[in-house]
Amino acid sequence: MGDLSDIRVFLAVAQQRSFTAAARQLSMTAPTVTRAVSALEQSLGVQLLLRTTRQVSLTSAGAVYAARVEPLIRQFDQVRDDLREEQGDLAGLIRINAPLSLGQQLLPDIVSGFRAEHPQVSVSLTLTDRFIDIVSEHFDIALRVSEAPRDRSTIWRKVCRVRRILVASPGYLAIFGTPGTPDDLSRHACIAYEEEAISETWELTNNGRTRKASAGKVLAANNGELIAKLVEDGQGLALLPHFIVGDALARGALKQVLADWEPPELWLTLYYPPYEKLPMRVARFSDFFERYVTQTRPL
């Protein structure tokens, strides 16, 4: 099967498709990673990776080997961590994925606080606004801000509601006017998350009345902080979570528009791979995360 440490190194290279990126992930030097993979290939008597100056790819044998041993390594790690946790010791690695804005605002304090209580637990954080498959990309927890989950094929935990508000800059409103009703939005520009649509449609509710209002889209981005900055620069209106625009509202750089009209609620949700049993360290981190978000720093 190969040396366990060499197998871990190979799996990191297979996942990252890069010796340098794998070395960074494992806190090793690139030459050490190269030697480990070479030692594994020599012990197995088969080439696992194709190396060029530009990229690294799996051979057919390497793809089969990675697919077979990766679940075994995860199972081995789970057994080890379960034994430690049965002794009252939380230990092991938690791999967390989160959107950029949310992760940057919440995770430093949460991870630091959790590790102060459980120093034997290590954490790997990956922040991206790209939608990821937590199973194929080997994450233990993924944070999502979205509509209430309904997918029965995944494991998830609703944490709290996320308030969204419609905002614009004072300068933009001075030039183009302040919308008084949702129908007025059709005369305004917006900055949207959706790249495909030619306009942004917002569903807004007031005292049981629901209206769908569209604004012409002038810009699109996949990151809330960037959208908020463009709104501050007077490029248009945007519907954004309060945790992104709260500071700008407080200092007067942004103003809320149509405050009496509410968009559909979003939820901060934790998603997990389809574990038979949630690892104790993941469950405890989830509890800690929820306490922080609902008690220490509500969204």
CATH code at position 40: 1.10.10.10
**Is 271 found in the same domain as 255?**
no
CB 52 within 8 A of CB 17: no
**Is 110 found in the same domain as 71?**
no
**Is 131 found in the same domain as 152?**
yes
Q: CATH number, domain at 117?
A: 3.40.190.10
Q: What pLDDT tens digit does each residue of the chain (299 aa) get?
A: 568 899 999 998 998 888 988 888 888 999 999 999 999 999 999 999 998 777 889 999 999 999 899 888 888 877 877 777 676 678 888 999 999 999 999 999 999 999 999 998 999 999 998 888 888 788 999 999 988 776 666 788 999 999 999 999 999 999 999 999 999 998 999 998 865 555 678 889 998 899 888 887 788 888 899 999 999 999 999 999 999 999 999 999 999 999 999 998 889 999 998 877 788 899 999 999 999 999 887 77
Domain count, the chain: 3
**Is 199 found in the same domain as 158?**
no
DSSP readout, 49-96? Answer: EEE-SS-EEE-HHHHHHHHHHHHHHHHHHHHHHHHHHHTT---EEEEE
**Is 158 found in the same domain as 70?**
no
**Is 61 found in the same domain as 11?**
yes
* Virtual torsion, Cα 7, 38, 35, 79, nearest 10 deg: 10
**Is 248 found in the same domain as 171?**
yes
> What single letter denotes the amino acid at residue 245?
V
Q: The whole model's pTM is what? A: 0.73
The confidence score (pLDDT) of residue 71 equals 84
The confidence score (pLDDT) of residue 148 equals 72
CB 164 within 8 A of CB 101: no
> What single letter denotes the amino acid at residue 31?
P
Question: For the chain, give me the number of helices (H) and strands (E)?
Answer: 9, 13
**Is 195 found in the same domain as 115?**
no
**Is 203 found in the same domain as 146?**
no
Range of the domain at 16: 4-83
The confidence score (pLDDT) of residue 151 equals 64
**Is 17 found in the same domain as 48?**
yes
Domain-ending residue, one of 25, 48, 83: 83
**Is 63 found in the same domain as 200?**
no
Q: Of 195, 201, 189, 188, give the one whose Cα is nearest residue 220.
A: 195
The confidence score (pLDDT) of residue 1 equals 52
**Is 176 found in the same domain as 219?**
yes
State both tokens at 129: 């606004």
The confidence score (pLDDT) of residue 153 equals 64
